[in-house]
Structure 1
Amino acid sequence: MTTGEIRSHRIDPASVAQIEGGGAEVFGPNYVFFSARKGADYTTRVFLDSRYVPHLHPGGEAAVAVEGVLDIMSSAPGCMGTLYDGAMRGVHRDVIARFGGLVINKQHKGNLPQFYETLRPGRCSHELWAANGRIAEKMHFADGTIELVPVPIRKLERRGTRTFRWYHLLVRPCRHGRHEYRVGVGATSRTGERPPGESDDERGFHRAEHLQQIPEFTRTHQLVYPYRSDIESGHAQLDASLWNGRLISYGVEAQQLLTLGFVLAQNSTSRALHQSGILLQPAG
């Protein structure tokens, strides 16, 4: 190399500056992986799909993930939905809910409680709000404090055949008798889907954003959502298989070939362990 010599610098066209979940900025490509496993045995993990997230893709990572979830649910009728992180917001949950699937993730911390409606079943009145992904009642206590108390959810219902709707059947104990009340969750009704003036769009209420199918602070959510960390284990395995933790290829096509080889190797290992009947028990 001589002074003033012009040399080409190799770059990865698939890599861009991105912000990780913790807020740190990294430079590289972004891929979405989907996996499933049986129970607590991580050796049964099977990767279902991996997708590249193009730079400046409309909707970003979550939009690519929604497409992947719908494709998987179409190919695997037994698939009930997905566990995902906070990247999925109401607009993404809406699409999957209408398709008949569940989205179990944490509620966005920026969501403030919103007034829902006042329930007047008879001689009593109950002021209902949407808070922490579910319906809560505004309660006034003797000491002058006010609190939003979650209304008990009796069950989650799914209705429909082609386009689905989800509901919480609520049970509100009251001195005038127990009230049962059904409220739609997971999907935001659009203009024309409800009588004039009653749709969520006309009311300005983003139902899919504020009312989750399985709210975060419930026992069901606490039992199911921890399985989402399994995909982080899969990511760690991918990183460990790479030299210096970096993809050893340039361009989307070459990287997709590498990720395909990784998931096939992992799935083959899980299949071999399953056929041999080996179950690894957690230490301790």
Structure 2
Amino acid sequence: MILGIESIRHKSAKRDPIRDDEGTAFIKLARRVLAQAPGLRAITYDTALRGVHRAPLIADGLVVFTTQHSGLAPESLHRYEYDACRHDLYVAEGRLCERRVTVDGVTHYTPLPVEELECRKGKRVRYYHRVTIQCPEEIHTEHIRVDETEEDRQIDPSTGRQRFNRTEHLRQVPPGTHAGRRLKGFRQDSESQHSRFDQSYPHKRVPAYGANAALLIYIGYAWLSNSVARAMIDFTPAA
């Protein structure tokens, strides 16, 4: 079912100031759907969503899953020091890892098992990973924030940038895990809608001039697609 439609700009903001970029438009659509369907819990999308787009949706209480962008270097998160040991935690490939250095000086980032994605609701929704750190001394359990914090949003005076883009580097559901692979599969049905729309016209060209006219055609396509889906749901074969 198509629940919302929005046009986005494909040019610079200066040349098309009326429309939003894809990520911003998606946030508006998601919040519009959430207002009508408060039971919504998770959203999947492609790599057009970056950390700056995921952060406000996570703050709204949603689990937002996308695949991880390539080329992101591991980021230091925190050093935990206990009575007889210490552990350096990094974020790499969208998940929490422990940084380890071999005797040959080779660095390895060992993923930490996520025991639970914990949601705490209050004035602001917060998400935590409950992780276990395997250690010869003892097994340590820590709760790590996976939503944007006030400290993250502070500007580093040395760089002029946000101190840590947590939602860019650390995911609520890490890609490559069993849960991540399941959520990734849900995205394909939405993508197939776009593919069928493209294939409905010769040479994948919509017979319309301008974004508003093209959007009108897509509204008609969405109406037809949803009508077929409704008919399939209501159809009960005879015994």
- Structure 2: state its 5+ residue gaps: 157-162
Aligned partner letter, 2:152: D
Deviation at 1:162, TM superposition (A): 4.7
Deviation at 1:97, TM superposition (A): 0.4
Paired position in structure 2 for 1:19? none
2:132 to 171, 178, 185: 171
Q: SS state of the match for residue 5, structure 2?
A: strand
Paired position in structure 2 for 1:265? 224
Deviation at 1:144, TM superposition (A): 4.8
Separation in 1 of the partners of 2:112 and 2:20? 33
Deviation at 1:59, TM superposition (A): 6.1
Separation in 2 of the partners of 1:76 and 1:132? 32
Identity %: 29
Deviation at 1:68, TM superposition (A): 0.7
Paired position in structure 2 for 1:227? 186
State the aligned residue count: 224
Paired position in structure 2 for 1:133? 94
Aligned partner letter, 1:230: D
Paired position in structure 2 for 1:22? none
- Deviations along 1:227-270, whole A, 9 cap, x unmatched? 21222211121112224321112233322221111011111111
2:6 to 40, 44, 51: 51
2:64 to 80, 103, 114: 103
2:208 is equivalent to residue 256 of structure 1: no
Deviation at 1:141, TM superposition (A): 3.5
What is the TM-score normalised by the length of structure 2? 0.87
Separation in 1 of the partners of 2:71 and 2:103? 30
- Structure 1: state its 5+ residue gaps: 1-45, 191-198, 279-284
Aligned partner letter, 1:211: L
Separation in 2 of the partners of 1:244 and 1:219? 38
1:188 to 119, 134, 148: 148
5 Å-filtered alignment, 1:47-86, equals: 47-54=2-9, 55=11, 56=13, 60-86=21-47
What is the TM-score normalised by the length of structure 1? 0.74
Aligned partner letter, 1:189: T
Structure 1 residues 249 and 162: CA distance shift in structure 2, 3 A:
farther
Deviation at 1:163, TM superposition (A): 2.5
2:200 is equivalent to residue 241 of structure 1: yes
Separation in 1 of the partners of 2:203 and 2:83? 68
Aligned partner letter, 1:206: N
Runs of 4+ in 1 over 6 A off after TM superposition: none
Paired position in structure 2 for 1:11? none
- Deviations along 1:140-169, whole A, 9 cap, x unmatched? 335653310011110101112452111111
1:205 to 164, 178, 202: 164
1:153 to 104, 114, 120: 114
CA contact (8 A) 2:8 2:20 kept: no
Separation in 1 of the partners of 2:86 and 2:203? 63
Q: SS state of the match for residue 215, structure 1?
A: coil
Q: SS state of the match for residue 183, structure 2?
A: helix
Q: SS state of the match for residue 103, structure 1?
A: strand
Aligned partner letter, 1:52: S
Paired position in structure 2 for 1:274? 233
Aligned partner letter, 2:186: Y
CA contact (8 A) 1:153 1:169 kept: yes
Separation in 1 of the partners of 2:167 and 2:131? 17
CA contact (8 A) 1:73 1:81 kept: no
Paired position in structure 2 for 1:194? none
Deviation at 1:189, TM superposition (A): 1.9
Structure 1 residues 273 and 162: CA distance shift in structure 2, 3 A:
farther
Separation in 2 of the partners of 1:253 and 1:265? 19
Separation in 2 of the partners of 1:209 and 1:59? 20
